[in-house]
Structure 1
């Protein structure tokens, strides 16, 4: 088993034990029915596909299916971890985050005004923002297609680690975010869709104040502000595709836009984005150190060139 794959499988197992244990310790109720339905669907659909690919000796298909399956499974403890962080109910950190932005001489109102006055720019940033899930799903598949299976496993593992590190930091930085604090409503905007600047508030307030709150994967919302997971994933996606030379720059530009869109189209301060990129850098460095050269060489040939002999696949 290659190191990135071993890391991902280990993270999936350990995170389930730790996160569900912490949920019980912190008395957070969980709706298990949709979780069991999700796990069942993954086992039936992806498990059968992985078994078929293994029996038919089709490593690229097996790697692609495993990355997607483990990614879906890892999302569960990662999501619960974000809610546990906010449930600790530390004082709101918006004032501190506003001061940090001021120290950087960042004028949020001027930035939003600049974006909102330019329809094409606002629409482009919105598209970049909404590409979050599509990239997390699609990039591992692209990496497998181009013979970078270990890098695909490493990307999925890194995503989980980013969520857990961000959750740990966010314990001390729960925040309502920019649109609420600066008092800007959707009605005041011409071209920016600020839905996600407000969408998370019901879940954010409920997990902090409602003793009867029940976590449900069906009502999942991104409730972390500092650091920005969106910006961290943007950095991760850019790193993941950097090894594919003819796609590195398009993905770098696109994900720079996705990081910027966390400020314009969500609830993030500029310092959230900077911190998110920092978290991604830390996680990528650790994962790269663990996995070593397996992340920088192809273990299967690109599907456009045909497979390597089975004996050359490790």
Structure 2
């Protein structure tokens, strides 16, 4: 073995000892670099990035410290997972904004027609949920995404298999696809189509992006602007899949995330077509990640 090869191997070994998921971090850094380049090219500025960055680095430092001390690697995995999700969420959110900058024609009219062809009356469903006091429960389910991610970071490392890595890779792959689709097939959403535009708190950001004018956004205040496909639906399916075979946790996670998926229509201003597309994307990404693991071995993705 040459000296250079030995050094490279030692470096890779040291990196693996410090970071449980080096490839995942590399992908997130790649998205962040693409964000920086895209923002500079399209006159978009993102501010207030320091706190999320520091939170991610602090959690990562805890994970590295536990690995170096060779103590309680479960805690190392939990804290690294949390750090990774904070960084990924920030980079992914900026990516969706930059894709909206493409300003392709809005597809709301076509999505309304598709919903009607499926026999779904969005306005009737909105009124029914309001009359039967279901709207509050649906809104609660829809808003549970951050809490569910925290729960996944804490509990999934305690279960069998690399569920933490599996959830991350399926979420990352599906986000890349969803951001691209949303950029090419943008929509204002059902609230705008059905006279509820005052509820669409993301609309000002989306329209500013599509205008091409110089734009500045605060990272903590950025919204979910992906309409088609519904990324809430994608994550709902991925959560259900991640909790499989876990007894009572499986039942609870399945019931709650099915409710969250239903909630995307009224609480998330989605067309049913958005939800169907989200279901299809989630299934496709699960199949893709499983296929890679089966073809190249579990270690092809599991370490990071």
TM range (shorter): 0.7 to 0.9
1:68 equivalent in alignment to 2:70: no
Which residue in 2 is equivalent to 1:10?
A: 26
Which residue in 2 is equivalent to 1:255?
A: 257
Task: Work out whether residues 28 and 215 of structure 1, in 8 Å CA contact, stay in contact via their aligned partners in 2.
Answer: no
1:155 equivalent in alignment to 2:170: no
State which of 161, 164, 174 in structure 1 corresponds to 2:176.
164
1:229 equivalent in alignment to 2:242: no
1:29 equivalent in alignment to 2:13: no
Runs of 5+ consecutive residues of structure 2 not aligned to the other structure:
1-15
The offset of 1:50, in angstroms, is 1.1
Q: Distance in 2 between matches of 1:47 and 1:184?
A: 42
Map 1:1-314 → 2, pairs under 5 A:
5-25=21-41, 27-32=42-47, 34-43=48-57, 45-57=58-70, 58-119=72-133, 121-148=134-161, 150-184=162-196, 197-209=199-211, 211-292=213-294, 294=298
Q: Distance in 2 between matches of 1:286 and 1:280?
A: 10
Q: Distance in 1 between matches of 2:112 and 2:165?
A: 37
Runs of 5+ consecutive residues of structure 1 not aligned to the other structure:
187-196, 300-314
Q: Distance in 2 between matches of 1:230 and 1:134?
A: 13
Q: Deviations over 1:10-29 (max 9, x none)?
A: 3213322333333333x232
Which residue in 1 is equivalent to 2:10?
A: none
Which residue in 1 is equivalent to 2:13?
A: none
The offset of 1:75, in angstroms, is 1.3
TM-score of the two chains, using structure 2 as the length reference: 0.85
Task: Work out whether residues 35 and 95 of structure 2, in 8 Å CA contact, stay in contact via their aligned partners in 1.
Answer: yes
The total of aligned residue pairs comes to 281
Rate the CA distance shift 1:221–1:18 in 2: closer, same or farther, 3 A.
same
The offset of 1:249, in angstroms, is 1.9
Task: Work out whether residues 11 and 157 of structure 1, in 8 Å CA contact, stay in contact via their aligned partners in 2.
Answer: no
TM-score of the two chains, using structure 1 as the length reference: 0.82
Pick which of 211-220 and 264-273 moved more: 211-220
Question: Tell me, what secondary structure is at the counterpart of 1:175?
Answer: coil
Rate the CA distance shift 1:28–1:286 in 2: closer, same or farther, 3 A.
farther
Question: Tell me, what secondary structure is at the counterpart of 2:21?
Answer: helix
Task: Work out whether residues 243 and 249 of structure 2, in 8 Å CA contact, stay in contact via their aligned partners in 1.
Answer: yes
The offset of 1:38, in angstroms, is 2.5
Pick which of 284-293 and 90-99 moved more: 284-293
Q: Distance in 2 between matches of 1:50 and 1:165?
A: 30
Q: Distance in 2 between matches of 1:289 and 1:185?
A: 42
Q: Deviations over 1:63-85 (max 9, x none)?
A: 10111001111112211111111
Q: Distance in 2 between matches of 1:132 and 1:204?
A: 22
Which residue in 2 is equivalent to 1:306?
A: none
Q: Distance in 1 between matches of 2:156 and 2:53?
A: 25
Question: Tell me, what secondary structure is at the counterpart of 1:100?
Answer: helix
